Structure 1
């Protein structure tokens, strides 16, 4: 079914209006939240360190803390709804772009602009925030792999194992066009504008990239341990190569420091290079994929 550009624009506008409304709701909730936090501070200020907390103040503080927790929960709910709307807009835009490409309206992105776009999408990848203390990071958060039955959606970025012109196999950065449940195969587009190739691949040749970043300060278990063998996107390229994790990110905005396997160096590894969480994954290296190009 052809994709209706006007309908897509209308859907995006609807979601933008929803986000606008949610932001205003958040501001109102935050105002009440600040009042309760101020009341907590004022109540504590009335008590000296040596004072015994009377039943009256115990009840008063308990009531204010309960209200503050309720406020924070409401704020969290609004923020999560806003993020859901943003993800819906991203999906609609991906769908519109892919449908336009299928219709022959291919956009051309220069190499430098493509590299900047890939960096930007990695830096703006949502950070996972658990709904409760100790909540386990979900699949496709940082180093946590997808579930075996997971199917990547249209527009999602993946690592794809493809054959080159000389029959060599390489892991490339690609974008999902569709998935055929009958054949159990993906159609993906090479993200490299110079290639413009479309590939039909089995699921074992497609590895979904993380959909969320892991925060090292709260979910360090969702990061690859130091000295892990991984596949990482070599800087300024659109290909994944075997590497060793040299340093982990210490904040949600930092990148991994990795050593790429490279026979051009005496010790067999490149100097340390930084790679964003989104482009560091655990996949098997093709036997024919042994170096950089």
Structure 2
């Protein structure tokens, strides 16, 4: 159903109000949790290392620990709900932008602004936080590929293998316009508005980008290993090129350090360059080096 400006504003304002209330609820839970943690600390102070913990203190500490765990779980649920509301706002705005573009109201974005937008969207990509320690990260988190049955949704960013003017093939950053489940083909728009090209491509020529960042401190298994051959978005461009992972991110905000294949250098590789998790993917097909 088409979005009117009033409807979009109403939906966003509703979620902003939800977020406002949720933030206050989170603060209440945090204070409640602090009270229980302080009570645990005071109780432990009453039990010296040389003393045997009496049944009374055993039960008291057990009750306090259970209460603290419940408080933490409640706070976690509130935080997750808040993050979901933020993502809902991003989705609503994105859908409105796409519908406006399809109606002929395409906004022209200057190249500098486009590069900044790509950087910000990579930095603000949701961070995956599992509910259980040691759990497996889901598909499209970091380096974890999409399921074979998955198809990217309208507005999602993908890497697309397209033919250029001289029939050469290049992996470009594109946005999904539509997926036809009957033909198993995508319609995608080149993200570079200077090109203004729309492509119809088979599913095998489209690779969905990660929908979540992996946290190196808790989900290192969801990152490419050092030395992995990947495709990465060359900085300040909208094209993917073959590269080798040189250094992994060590925190959730850090980027990969990669070496792009480049025949203009003696060793065949560019100097180390940083690329965000969102723009580092695995692609089987070959690709010419950056030059």
Could you state the TM-score of these two structures normalised by the residue count of structure 2?
Answer: 0.97
Q: Which residue of 2 aligns with 1:167?
A: 167
Per-residue Cα deviation, 1:101-147 (whole angstroms, up to 9, x for no partner): 11111111111111111111111111111101111111011100011
CA contact (8 A) 2:137 2:222 kept: yes
CA contact (8 A) 1:180 1:186 kept: yes
CA contact (8 A) 1:216 1:250 kept: yes
Equivalents in 2 of 1:61, 1:141: separation in Å? 38
Q: 1:243 to 1:131 in 2, by over 3 A?
A: same
Q: Which residue of 2 aligns with 1:261?
A: 261
Which runs of 4 or more aligned residues in structure 1 lie more than 4 Å from their structure 2 counterparts after TM superposition?
A: none
Q: Which residue of 1 aligns with 2:180?
A: 180
User: How big is the shift at 1:285?
Assistant: 3.3
Q: Tell which deviates more after alignment, 44-53 or 70-79.
A: 44-53
Per-residue Cα deviation, 1:186-244 (whole angstroms, up to 9, x for no partner): 11111112112111111111111111111111111111011100000001101000001
Partner SS for 1:245: strand
Equivalents in 1 of 2:195, 2:79: separation in Å? 39
Q: Which residue of 2 aligns with 1:127?
A: 127
User: How big is the shift at 1:2?
Assistant: 3.7
CA contact (8 A) 2:260 2:290 kept: no
Q: Which residue of 2 aligns with 1:43?
A: 43
Equivalents in 1 of 2:185, 2:22: separation in Å? 39
CA contact (8 A) 1:231 1:285 kept: no
Equivalents in 2 of 1:220, 1:182: separation in Å? 37
Equivalents in 2 of 1:213, 1:145: separation in Å? 12
Query: What are the within-5 Å matches in structure 2 for residues 72-87 of structure 1?
Result: 72-87=72-87
CA contact (8 A) 2:153 2:178 kept: yes
Check if 1:57 corresponds to 2:57. yes
Q: Which residue of 1 aligns with 2:143?
A: 143
Q: Which residue of 2 aligns with 1:27?
A: 27
Partner SS for 1:199: strand
Q: Which residue of 2 aligns with 1:281?
A: 281
Per-residue Cα deviation, 1:73-125 (whole angstroms, up to 9, x for no partner): 00111111111111111111111001111111111111111111111111111
Check if 1:88 corresponds to 2:94. no
Q: Tell which deviates more after alignment, 184-193 or 138-147.
A: 184-193
Equivalents in 1 of 2:243, 2:80: separation in Å? 35
Partner SS for 1:33: helix
Aligned length in residues? 291
Equivalents in 1 of 2:92, 2:138: separation in Å? 24
Per-residue Cα deviation, 1:1-59 (whole angstroms, up to 9, x for no partner): 54323222211111111111211111111111111111111111112221211111110
Q: Which residue of 2 aligns with 1:292?
A: 290
Gaps of 5+ in 1: none
- RMSD across aligned C-alpha pairs, in angstroms? 1.2
